[in-house]
Amino acid sequence: MRCAAHTLGCKLNFAETSHLLRQLSERGHTIVNFDDEADLYIINTCTVTAIAEKKCRNAIRQASRRNPDAQVAVIGCFAQNAADAIAAIPGVTIILGNDRKHRLPELIDNTGDRRSLPDPATPDNQHPFPLAYSSGDRTRCFLKIQDGCDYFCTYCAIPFARGRSRSATVEQVLQTVREIETQGIREVVLTGVNTGTFGQHHGENLLQLLRRLDNETQIQRYRISSIEPNLITEEMVRFIAGSRAFLPHFHIPLQSGSDKVLQLMHRRYDTALYRDKVEYILSLMPDACIAADIIAGFNGEDESEFQHVCRYVDSLPLSYLHVFTYSDRPDTAALRMDGRIPVRMRRDHSLQLHRISNQKREAFYRSQTGTVRPVLWESTRHPDGTMQGWTDNYIRISRHYDDRLVGTVTDEHLDEGRIVYNFPTES
């Protein structure tokens, strides 16, 4: 069977999709691109925003048009939270939530009811924890070390889609990394829904894992995909600053620059704590890249409050923002709140935050122009005959393609003409 997959959403989804494709390949199936004709199309979905759900629906329809006789498997967060709505889309033959998507290879090799609707989404659904990592790129991979969340922020449906927080053990992660090492991977990105809670249910913690990865593996570079500000400790920052392999790159969700809105969101920090964390990181790693997620237009963010948000964000020494326009998510507490912001105003706030982000990104790139940074070169040959790579502090640069450099780390001078400017669209 020819199998293709399309992944939406977070790095965790990419790791899980790649794991499923490896399993299918091991069972004798042929893996093809999603743009090709296939017998099975897998769409690993996201439910973070309404835009993400719209992209899911579009991908489902594209697959059905590409081969009307193909099986279309919709899996992941959107499948967990909106199974009935997905079942109504013509062409969908398999629906698996996060509690069952790991069974997809087994399911398509057997007969019977392939639709397998997930149980109604609740945080207490029992979700297994299969370790997963992405493959296909010769240089870097995403490694799932944690899943689920116990925080229940008022805007977020992820605890319903992915369940309670759970994780691998330190030994399980080390064993998987040793497997990854045999494939020549140079960089591993540790991923999860709430990565900072790693190990909390079996007497371990994230810092213990970081230390052992740094000391006991041969991977050249590690990144942490995202970590909550209340879970970053000074001890962790000091360790990363002096480590062998962990890079000066942090993704720290902010969500709002207003203490009032943070309280409405049920976030576990205030703006003062967030600033302290950012400034402490930069005091030890002045060239670190620090990115932040932020939501535009959440309840209570009227024009006066939004101007406060902009002043705060503008004053933070961040490298860039990942901006999400607030949209209602099923089963969340935000649906029952007052102070709702009109959709047009939400979009306007989002555009303004994107402008601030672009200014910060340009300023960060300018601050690094003329420096020399280690760059890991990727395998893709671009149409203009170039290849691209990432500095340790997450700046993408380019050069003429040279296959000998793929998967190697070289010290490179960051000239302005070599930096690849990438300004994300709305999420």
283 in Cβ contact with 243 (< 8 Å)? no
Other CB atoms closer than 10 Å to residue 212's CB: what's the count? Answer: 16
Q: Where is average pLDDT lowest: 96-100, 205-209, 341-345, 410-414? A: 96-100
Q: Residue 236: which region, alpha, beta or left (left: phi > 0; alpha: psi -120 to 50)?
A: alpha
Q: Where is average pLDDT lowest: 60-64, 80-84, 183-187, 242-246? A: 80-84
pLDDT digits (tens, 9 = 90+) for 357-408: 999 999 999 999 999 999 999 999 999 999 999 999 999 999 999 999 999 9
What average pLDDT does the segment 263-276 reach?
Answer: 98
The pairs formed by 278-281 with CB atoms below 8 angstroms and a separation of 24 or more are 278/252, 278/316, 278/317, 278/318, 279/317, 280/234, 280/237, 281/232, 281/237, 281/250
pLDDT at 417: 86
Q: What is the rounded CA–CA span in Å between residue 68 and residue 100? A: 25
Token output for 9? 């959403």
CA distances from 228 to 121, 148, 169 (A): 24, 14, 20
CATH class of 251-258+284-367: alpha beta
CA distances from 165 to 14, 145, 196, 334 (A): 19, 11, 10, 21
What average pLDDT does the segment 192-200 reach?
Answer: 95
The one-letter code for the residue type at 61 is R
Q: What is the mean pLDDT of the chain?
A: 91
> Is the pLDDT reported for residue 111 higher than 70?
no
pLDDT digits (tens, 9 = 90+) for 210-261: 999 999 999 999 999 999 999 999 999 999 999 999 999 999 999 999 999 9
> Is the pLDDT reported for residue 112 higher than 50?
no
pLDDT confidence band for 127 (50 / 70 / 90): low
Domain extents for the chain?
2-108, 125-247, 251-258+284-367, 372-418
What average pLDDT does the segment 315-325 reach?
Answer: 97
pLDDT at 123: 56
> Is the pLDDT reported for residue 58 higher than 70?
yes
pLDDT confidence band for 426 (50 / 70 / 90): low
Q: Give 140-154 as a DSSP string.
A: EEEEE-EE--S---T
Residue 399 burial class via C-beta count within 10 angstroms: exposed 0-12, middle 13-18, buried 19 and up: middle
Between 12 and 279, name the one with better pLDDT. 279
pLDDT at 79: 87
pLDDT at 78: 87
> Is the pLDDT reported for residue 115 higher than 60?
no
Between 109 and 370, name the one with better pLDDT. 370
Q: What is the rounded CA–CA span in Å between residue 271 and residue 248? A: 22
What average pLDDT does the segment 1-17 reach?
Answer: 89
What average pLDDT does the segment 292-313 reach?
Answer: 97
Q: Are strands 140-144 and 187-191 parallel, antiparallel or unpaired?
A: parallel
> Is the pLDDT reported for residue 113 higher than 50?
no
Q: What is the rounded CA–CA span in Å between residue 314 and residue 316? A: 6
Instruction: Please determine, looking at this structure, whether the domain spanning 2-108 carries the CATH number 3.40.50.12160.
Output: yes
Q: Residue 278: which region, alpha, beta or left (left: phi > 0; alpha: psi -120 to 50)?
A: alpha
Q: Using H for helix, E for strand and C for coil, what is the string for 340-364?
A: CCCHHHHHHHHHHHHHHHHHHHHHH
Tell me the H-state helices in 123-181: 158-162, 170-181
The model's pTM: 0.87
What average pLDDT does the segment 194-200 reach?
Answer: 96
The architecture that CATH gives domain 125-247 is 2-Layer Sandwich (3.30)
The H-or-E segment that residue 320 falls in is: strand 320-325
pLDDT confidence band for 424 (50 / 70 / 90): low
CA distances from 166 to 77, 125, 180, 246 (A): 16, 12, 22, 23
Between 99 and 423, name the one with better pLDDT. 99
Quick check: do 125-247 and 251-258+284-367 share a fold?
yes
Nearest to 11 by CA among 195, 160, 279, 182: 195
The alpha carbon of residue 288 and the mean position of all alpha carbons in its chain are separated, in whole angstroms, by 19
